[in-house]
Amino acid sequence: MLRREFVGGLLVAVAGRALADEPTGASPKKPKLRDEALKERSEGLRPNVFVHVSSDGKVTLVNHRSEMGQGVRSTIPALLADELGANLDRVEIEQADGDKKYGDQNTDGSNSIRGEYDDLRAAAATAREMLIAAAAKRWHVSAGSLTAHDHAVWNGSRSLGFGELANAAGKLPVPKPGSVKLRPRAEMKHVFRDLPLVDARPIATGAAQFGADVRLDGMLIAVIARPPVVGGKVVRVDDGKALAVPGVKQVIRMPEPKPPWKFQPWGGVAVLATNTWAAMRGCQALHVEWDHGPNAAYDSQEYAAQLSRAVHQPGHAARNAGDVETALAHAAKTVEAEYHVPHLAHVSMEPPAAIARFEDGKCEIWAATQNPQDARKQAAETLGIDESQVASHVTFLGGAFGRKSKADFVAEAAYLAREARAPVRVQWTREDDLRHDYYNTVNTQLLTAALDASGKVTAWRQRTAFPPIGTTFSDVKGPGAGDLQQGVTDLPLAIPNVRAETCDAAAHVRIGWLRSVYNIFHGFSAGSFMDEIAHARGKDPRENLLELFGPARIVSLQELGVEKLRNYGATLDKHPIDTGRLRGVIERVTEMARWSDRGGRALGLAAHRSFLTYVAVVVSVKKDRLGKIAVDEAWLAADAGTVVNTERARSQMEGAVIFGMSHAFFGGATMKAGVTEQSNFDTYRLVRIPQAPRAVHVEILESDGPPGGIGEPGVPPVAPAIANAIFALTGQRIRTLPLMLAGVV
Amino acid sequence: MISLNVNGKAHQLDADPEMPLLWALRDLLGLTGTKYGCGQALCGACTVHLDGEAVRSCVTPLSRAAHGKVTTIEGLQNRVLQDAWCDLAVPQCGFCQAGQLMTAAALLGETPQPSDDEIDLSMAGNLCRCGTYSRIRAAIKRAAGAR
């Protein structure tokens, strides 16, 4: 019932207000500009940019973040509605355009709820208090005796609907932000449990509008031949054959980017045509002579050997507690292992796509972007106009995982729309997507542990080498404190001597963030190494893991051996490193998997804190008929504090298991002569349905603590859990991803 | 001119007979529910029905499609299956789901009560980067049970 009501109110707003009136046919009307749409809202109550209550009782709630599969459109509006006391069937969701008035819109860092929870609730509570104040005035009673629920304000059994109060409330002063009271948890009607998926029906009927689905009159489609090597340049172009392809209208040289690359268009030559196929064929027919530039020597295999040499030398101290070198020198036994994780690609199912129109010095953009404000900025910079002259609308993202927070593809569309004097859709091919990604960085680590004569772990030394994301923006030489908070400096260890070091590493490709980022390889190495220590000690991996993380406690900076910790932007008071919560998810997931009663099953376990959320994973592996490793069952327990939408939290964790499996089994973008060797799903493989576990069990632990992240924290423990399970089954320890290189999958 | 029957409607298209059906649907007819994901029949996002059979429209030339009846996600009339997709909240980003549904509908048309292995075999060509596979299996089974 709930589902039907909620969906009924939402279909119109699928891809942004400006497109709400557009039919899905071949020749849409000109989209309505934002200001015109807003004029219709001058009546009623609009205390802030997130809430509007109309005098007819319709409540419009703004979702200011991008929908990329995490279910934010099913979550933020429901949170606002509950705080307000609105009925979901009278709520319309408005997808926000890119505008600083909404605060930060970058849908990134698993931050939409953990970062905005209190502010969003306060926005809705402000509207509720104003509706209550209007009712109090009407009834000549004190506001304190009134309540708001079921789309009305109540005084005992008497009620006034929100619509009846909206205009009067709209004339009252807006309470100061800090003064409004949030509802007690028990009064929230829908959230903190499973919420309906508001966009399921438009997706299941093909009506949902993704990046490439926006159509404008006279629009040309652009496919771009980009320099195959980062920093490469066009020397000469012969576009004769391209222009001879029927449907091809123009060939346009792209501007050359200058380092640092940031989010600039990549350069190259664009072919513009009346349809996508013609543009693709035209692009293939171009003859371009390239100057590949200094990165043409980049060979990722050679580079891995360089990183390996680096971690065998002392690095820059990033964390130090006790005296690791003395403890290692006096160890009864040492355990040492080197791990390598290659560059990883995002490969969202929809390759990047953006549409731009440039008229009278103004630019309008429609894009599958995680960051519509930055899309405006990049377009404005590329065009040399003020940001106020650029509008950006957000479509469904078609997967993103961090790729679509980089607006290079939007800037390409803006540039071409001006140069071509026509609206343009820039369509990335899958080959473009794999060859010109902002890859997750490449990493090698050396971990060394000391055991004393009784088998107790007395020292842990971790050396990590990778070119950081900062190389895309400046000339940094190696990882910094902000990078190492992801699984190195924040790793709680009940070991007296702990030291972490970093090694410099230069970048030869564009590096960016991919779902879970550095946690992917730090989680893999630490999660694998703890299992190696367990076997070296002859201990059960679960008991060993609990012992290494240590007793339930709040871990101090002093214990970590760091002066400060970025902690994903949260204070340690609000979000401490709490080993009790880490133990909690390990204990729960091992109960779910019947760890102590595993019989002949080969189980692997790993746990990791990231984005302020604690996750533990167990997987069971078997050999299939061909003797290859198959993951047949997986269990995941997560403690993410308060969870607004438990259903989407579970679905994100289910997806994280598959995402992590793809990295573990097949993940890896490799470069020869500076060119990425993978170009489509045959060479960059992903887990397919036959490889997916037959059962994935997810449990979100109940908590009333402050919310942590949901989208990313499920990924890091998956790969080490698989590697640990393979060791349990075969005795083979695999320290280099992907597993397919070892021939086991 | 090429005659093309899509979702029961006849169209005359002035297009190259070699143009893949995918681009004719999306760019010429404005039926954008069918998605581009790879262009090489590797991901299944572009799956449509040609005479009831699941085909990858990104590698199906118009010349071949012109002889048959094309059904796209916009014309899919399998309420039971689509309801199962919604009831189990299968989609995450949603981009691959039109292709998943078209393949699943063709599977159920041929095998009304598929086993896990039959589901895996039929759906193996449809990638989902978000990892909705366990719900896809469950939704197909729910739709099969509801017949």
Do A149 and A124 form a contact (C-beta atoms < 8 A)? no
Residue A347's identity, in one-letter code, is V
> B36, B60, B75: which is the final residue of a domain?
B75
Same domain, B58 and B120: no
Write the pLDDT tens digit of every residue in A592-625. Answer: 999 999 999 999 999 999 999 999 999 999 999 9
The average pLDDT across B56-80 equals: 97
Do A473 and A465 form a contact (C-beta atoms < 8 A)? no
| A255-264 contacts, C-beta under 8 A, 24 or more apart | A255/A382, A255/A415, A259/A231, A260/A471, A260/A472, A260/A473, A260/A474, A260/A475, A261/A230, A261/A472, A261/A510, A262/A472, A262/A473, A263/A374, A263/A378, A263/A406, A263/A407, A263/A408, A263/A411, A264/A378, A264/A382, A264/A408, A264/A411
Task: Give residue A40's pLDDT.
Answer: 53
Q: Which domains does chain A have, with CATH numbers?
A: 2-196 (3.30.365.10), 211-294+352-427 (3.30.365.10), 300-345+438-742 (3.30.365.10)
Per the listing, tokens 């905005």 go with A116
Q: At what angle do helices B116-123 and B97-110 cross, to 10 degrees?
A: 130
Q: Which domain holds residue B88?
A: 79-145
Which tokens go with A293?
């530039």
Write the pLDDT tens digit of every residue in A109-121. Answer: 999 999 999 999 9
Same domain, B112 and B86: yes
Write the pLDDT tens digit of every residue in A479-536. Answer: 998 899 999 999 999 999 999 999 999 999 999 999 999 999 999 999 999 999 999 9
Task: Give residue A178's pLDDT.
Answer: 87
Which tokens go with A544?
């060993």
For residue A13, pLDDT over 60 is answered with: no
The average pLDDT across A378-396 equals: 97
- Measured at the CA of B61, the angle between CA B59 and CA B62, to 5 degrees, comes to 140
* B92·A647 Cβ contact <8 A: no
Residue A149's identity, in one-letter code, is H
Split at pLDDT 50, 70, 90, the class of A18 is: very low
Residue B123's identity, in one-letter code, is M
> B29, B48, B75: which is the final residue of a domain?
B75
The average pLDDT across A58-62 equals: 97
Task: Give residue A309's pLDDT.
Answer: 98
Q: State the CATH number of the domain containing residue B7.
A: 3.10.20.30
Same domain, B54 and B84: no
Distance, C-alpha B132 to centroid of its chain: 16
In B, minimum Cα distance to A195 occurs at: B89
* A688·B45 Cβ contact <8 A: no
Same domain, B6 and B71: yes
For residue B147, pLDDT over 80 is answered with: no
Provide the chain B residues 51-110 that lie in CB contact (below 8 A) with chain A.
Answer: 72-74, 76, 82, 85-87, 89-98, 101
The average pLDDT across A463-491 equals: 95
Q: State the CATH number of the domain containing residue B108.
A: 1.10.150.120
Same domain, B43 and B6: yes
Write the pLDDT tens digit of every residue in B124-133. Answer: 999 999 999 9
Task: Give residue A488's pLDDT.
Answer: 98
> B75, B97, B132: which is the final residue of a domain?
B75
Q: What is the ipTM of this complex?
A: 0.98
Same domain, B52 and B100: no
* A275·B23 Cβ contact <8 A: yes
A149 bridge partner residues:
A152
**Percentage with pLDDT > 90 across chain A:** 93
For residue A4, pLDDT over 70 is answered with: no
Q: What is the mean pLDDT of chain A?
A: 94
Q: What is the DSSP string of A224-273?
A: EE--SSTT-EEEEEE-HHHHHSTTEEEEEEPPPP-SS-TT----SEEEEE
Instruction: Give the count of domains, chain B.
Output: 2
Q: Which of A131-145, B33-47, B133-147 is predicted least confidently?
A: B133-147
Q: What is the mean pLDDT of chain B?
A: 97
* A430·B37 Cβ contact <8 A: yes
In A, minimum Cα distance to B116 occurs at: A694
Per the listing, tokens 């205009």 go with A167
Q: Which of B41, B40, B48 is nearest to B101 (CA)?
A: B48
* B23·A212 Cβ contact <8 A: no
Same domain, B54 and B111: no
Same domain, B70 and B13: yes
Within 8 A by CB and 6+ apart from A184, the residues are: none
Q: Which of A738, A739, A742, A696 is nearest to A345 (CA)?
A: A738
For residue A3, pLDDT over 60 is answered with: no
Q: What is the pTM of this model?
A: 0.95
Look at the alpha carbons of A244, B17, A215, A98 in this order and tell me if their dihedral is positive or negative. Answer: negative
User: Which CA distances in Å does B60 have to A473, A535, B10, B84?
Assistant: 43, 54, 18, 29
Same domain, B126 and B71: no
Q: What is the distance in angstroms between the Cα of B49 and the nearest Cα belonging to chain A? A: 14
Split at pLDDT 50, 70, 90, the class of B146 is: low
Same domain, B44 and B108: no
| B103-108 contacts, C-beta under 8 A, 24 or more apart | B103/B44, B103/B47, B103/B54, B104/B136, B104/B139, B104/B140, B104/B143, B105/B49, B105/B54, B105/B76, B105/B78, B105/B81, B106/B49, B106/B52, B106/B53, B106/B54, B107/B54, B107/B140, B108/B78, B108/B81, B108/B140, B108/B143, B108/B144, B108/B147
Same domain, B61 and B106: no
Q: What is the dihedral of CA A407, A114, A545, A528, to 10 degrees?
A: -10
Indicate the helix (H) or strand (E) that contains A291: strand A287-291
Residues of B in contact with A427 (CB under 8 A): 36
Residues of A in contact with B121 (CB under 8 A): 690
3-state secondary structure A594-627: CHHHCCCCEEEEEEEEECCEEEEEEEEEEECCCC
Same domain, B67 and B89: no
Do A674 and A295 form a contact (C-beta atoms < 8 A)? yes
